[in-house]
Amino acid sequence: MQTKQQIVNLAQIEEEFVQRLIKTGKSINTVKNYRTDLGCFNSFVEKERPSKNIDDFELSHLEQYNSYLQKKYSSNNSKRRRIQTLRMFFDFLVEKGLFATNPVRKFQTSPKFLDIPRPAPFSDIKTLWEFLITEEKTTASLSKLITMRNQILFLLIYGAALKVSEIKNLKVKDVILPDNSSKANSLARVMINHSNRDPYTIPTPEIFTQIFSNYILALNKQKELDGTIFDDLLFNANPYHILSGGLSARGQEIIFEEFRKKLMLKITPKSLRQAAIFRWIRAGHKETQIKEWLGVVPSYSLRPYRDQLETNIYNDEFMLRIYKQLKL
């Protein structure tokens, strides 16, 4: 099965795989999940096989692991995720030349079930937005620009339901400002480019246009001051200078971790994005349109959201109201 015979320690090659994930910008939680899944595989190897070397793995060993998962976990999603992680890991081994083909791709995965949405509390969302507007008003220079960047980050997730993996690649040119001469195009839109589908745009809340315009003016001034050039929408900075364009998925999650600690909130990028989906449904958007904006397949079910709709009331009017009260 292997393309070359060499002894490679399992822990060594797994760590190399994880470091590859980190370098590609995977979020902290995503990397943590991969480590957990690989840890499950390691536990099996430790119990069932005396050798921990990659070069003597056979399909029968992996089939034993698949059977082990079926017995150990009652959740189809748990079994499915661990098989997917192992599939990615063996794709990595194929890439490294340690296997000619990926034997895990022969496994039949368990059906996927949607997790119950756990959106961020609406009170926490309002608290965070009020904090961001107040902080902009009470800070200056680069600190003020960083707060404005965080406002844009908030609006991209709560206003456009973007994933951190989508946000990290956004450029300034991906924001399409509204055409003032047309009522049909009264909202700014964000262009999303996926490798496996045509580009599409997602509308943003009304407040986004003004905040974006102010942010770009301040960003360009700071870039000129720091002598840096980039076309990314967001940026990474220390307290003194912009370090680089772009903001990784991990960087975005760290920002929300700081919000949670400082403001005692329960907001994560994922929970804020789920709140955005509830907001779209309550606003009366068609399911087909919401699925297009989310970038999911037509068979994706929004039923878990509809089932919780009465207990999750979200809107975007508060953003403009708080902005006018605190900013002007």
Are 134 and 90 in the same domain?
A: no
Looking at the domain assignment, is residue 247 inside a domain? Answer: yes
Q: Provide the percentage of residues in the chain whose pLDDT is more than 90.
A: 49
Nearest to 83 by CA among 138, 147, 38, 20: 38
Among 24-38, 139-153, 217-231, which stretch is predicted with the lowest mean pLDDT? 24-38
Tell me what the pLDDT averaged over the chain comes to.
86
Give the residue from 53, 74, 106 where a domain finishes: 106
Task: Render pLDDT for 40-50 as a digit per residue (tens, 0 to 9).
Answer: 888 887 776 65
Which amino acid would we find at residue 151? Q
Task: Render pLDDT for 203-215 as a digit per residue (tens, 0 to 9).
Answer: 999 999 999 999 9
What domain range includes position 91?
10-106
Are 168 and 99 in the same domain?
A: no
* Res 232 pLDDT > 80: yes
Q: Record the tokens describing residue 124, joined without a space.
A: 């926490």
Predicted TM-score (pTM) of this structure:
0.69
Say what the pLDDT of residue 106 is.
Answer: 72
| Better-scored residue on pLDDT, 71 or 55 | 71
Are 135 and 233 in the same domain?
A: yes
Q: How is 273-319 classified by DSSP, letter by letter?
A: HHHHHHHHHHTT--HHHHHHHHT--TT---HHHHHTGGG----SHHH
Counting Cβ atoms within 10 Å, is residue 268 exposed (0-12), middle (13-18) or buried (19+)? buried
Counting Cβ atoms within 10 Å, is residue 209 exposed (0-12), middle (13-18) or buried (19+)? middle
Which residues have CB under 8 Å from 123's CB, separation 6+? Answer: none
Task: Render pLDDT for 113-153 as a digit per residue (tens, 0 to 9).
Answer: 456 889 999 999 999 999 999 999 999 999 999 999 999 99
Phi-psi region at 167: left, alpha or beta (left = phi > 0; alpha = psi -120 to 50): alpha
Say what the pLDDT of residue 136 is.
Answer: 93
Say what the pLDDT of residue 73 is.
Answer: 75
Are 254 and 163 in the same domain?
A: yes
Q: How far apart are alpha carbons 38 and 266 in whole angstroms?
A: 28
Looking at the domain assignment, is residue 57 inside a domain? Answer: yes
Say what the pLDDT of residue 328 is.
Answer: 60
What number of other Cβ atoms are within 10 A of residue 82's Cβ? Answer: 25
Task: Render pLDDT for 2-20 as a digit per residue (tens, 0 to 9).
Answer: 444 445 677 888 898 989 8
| Better-scored residue on pLDDT, 218 or 89 | 218
For residue 98, the domain's CATH number is: 1.10.150.130
| Better-scored residue on pLDDT, 70 or 120 | 120
Are 92 and 168 in the same domain?
A: no
Number of domains present in the structure of the chain: 2
* Res 298 pLDDT > 70: yes
Q: Provide the percentage of residues in the chain whose pLDDT is more than 70.
A: 88
For residue 307, the domain's CATH number is: 1.10.443.10
Which residues have CB under 8 Å from 77's CB, separation 6+? Answer: 110, 112, 113, 115
CA 1 to chain CA centroid, nearest Å: 36
